[in-house]
A and B are shown apart, each in its own frame.
Chain A
Amino acid sequence: MTLLDNPAAGHFLPLEPGHSSPGRIEKLLRAGEFTVTAELSPPDSSDPEEVFEKARIFDGSVDAINATDGSGANCHMSSVAVCAILRRANYSAIMQVSCRDRNRIAIQGDVLGAAAIGVASILCLTGDGVQAGDHPQAKPVFDLESITLLSMLRKMRDESQFQSGRKITKPPRVFLGAAANPFMPPLDFRPMRLAKKIEAGAQFIQTQYCFDVERLKQFMARVCDMGLHQKAYILVGVGPLASARAAEWIRQHVPGVHIPDSIVGRLAGSTNQKQEGKKICIEMIQQVREMAGVSGVHVMAYRQEELVAEIIQESRVLGGRTPWYPGIDKSKSAERQQEPIQQ
């Protein structure tokens, strides 16, 4: 299958007819594979090796890596730079773009540059407010928001034009994504908002952390009624909670994350809370996998990245498929060479 083929570093996978991008994620989703993405938190460092270290943790368990863009309004290495480093090793990178720090001129420049280095997927976000991060005194930009950002990037790709109307000689071949939060009010409006994002150009969706399956079920039922699952691939956000205390902290400090009391209670009542958090995450993935309209999961395991491989393996959502990673070809040929010796 072409999905596993790996061109030499610096080269791109072929752009298939009808596809928006040459990216692995678009190919997998269109092929109907249950897809796994994970979030990489960029380092507070100028050392590229730190990016590779963080990426290697996910080897063999995820199909693409999201490079966050100043997540939580905290300063880190930029998402475009993290993507550039990941592309050196041919990782599939999903570049997150937030509207908090850059205006339309800066964002369009970044997107052209990103496409030039082989970034094939872009997640369009509004971004957290500056009050949430380590520089609350900064000027919030918000020239655009997620939906206007989506429509701007779609225009760049499909009409080969900047927002100004000026011509782009080679348009960025990118698969466009957006976020969704099915768990926070106004709940009735959330599916409509998703419809707007899809209308504006979103082709894949990565949701906020899901800790409340019932609320997700209600949302997905509405989404399926509206036929939205046929217009965009929905990846549900999941992640392990380290402890009941961590869950409480997230509830109070991280905007938009809904954790029901039952989950916090289950963690608090456990003798090994970290293990229980991982178990909850695996159960969540398995329940989400069975839900109509869901195309994959997006794992956000902040400061617990080392658990991602076990979580994906134990949840058995990949059904024996091994996502491509740098060196997979080498390890396969090594296996092949060992076989005759064993016989």
Chain B
Amino acid sequence: MYSVRRWASRHARFFEAFYNGFEAMLASLHPLFRRIGYARIDKPVAAVEKMVKGFLFDTRMCGSCTLGATGMVCPMNCPKSMRNGPCGGVRSNGHCEVKPEMPCVWVDAYAGSRLMRDGDRIRGIQTMVDHRLQGSSSWMREVRRKKGVPEIGDAPG
């Protein structure tokens, strides 16, 4: 259990570099996305994103992805949705207080961050989740942010 996502966090440096390249590639598709329409493309991209990131990181598609700042570990897998570090309930074996069989998401996240080039992003504060973004694509949100495309509907970026 949890083997794929734990494997991914042990290879955080590779996934960090891979994502950076991937994001640049997506951004280069901006003219195409604009022609299709960002509102129309979001759902299909989100479906792919869910499949890929779901397999690798067990991501929950909160819509405010922090993988790059959390050691390539999805913090939404924490039963308390901790986005800024481990709670005080971590067991002495490094496992979760709520799910004793699961290694603490933040123990893995910190270990993963130590492998990354920009691992110190883990020290930055993550703001609270906008629950309206649940299920939307973080990839497309990043592209829109980079290209200065206004957000869909009233959801802030």
Contact = CB atoms under 8 A, between A and B. Distances in A.
Interface stretch (B26-34, B53-61, B81-89, B133-141): B81-89
B98 interface: yes
A144 B92 contact: no
B111 A140 contact: no
Contacts of A128: 89, 97
Interface in A195-236: 195-196, 199-200, 208
A131 B79 CA distance: 10
B89 A186 contact: no
Contact of B125 (A104, A144, A151): A151
A181 B88 contact: yes
Interface in A116-167: 126-129, 131-132, 140, 142-148, 151-152, 163
Contacts of B91: 184, 255
Interface stretch (B9-17, B38-46, B102-110): B102-110
Interface of A: 99-100, 104, 126-129, 131-132, 140, 142-148, 151-152, 163, 179-181, 184-186, 188-189, 192-193, 195-196, 199-200, 208, 255-256, 258
B94 A186 contact: yes
B128 A148 contact: yes
Contact of B107 (A131, A186, A195): A186
Dominant SS at the B interface?
Answer: loop
Contacts of A129: 79-80, 89, 97-98
Interface of B: 79-92, 94, 97-98, 104, 106-107, 110-111, 122-123, 125-129, 131
B97 A192 contact: no
A189 B110 contact: yes
Residue with the greatest number of chain A CB neighbours at <10 A, chosen from B88, B90, B92, B125? B88
Contact of A186 (B82, B98, B106, B128): B106
A199 B79 contact: no
Most buried by A among B97, B104, B107, B127: B97
Nearest to B87: A126
A179 B85 CA distance: 13
Contacts of A127: 80
A153 to B, nearest CB: 12
Q: Which 4 A-B residue pairings sit nearest by Cβ, starting from the closest?
A: A255-B89, A181-B88, A255-B97, A129-B98
5 contacts: A163-B128, A181-B90, A184-B90, A184-B91, A192-B123
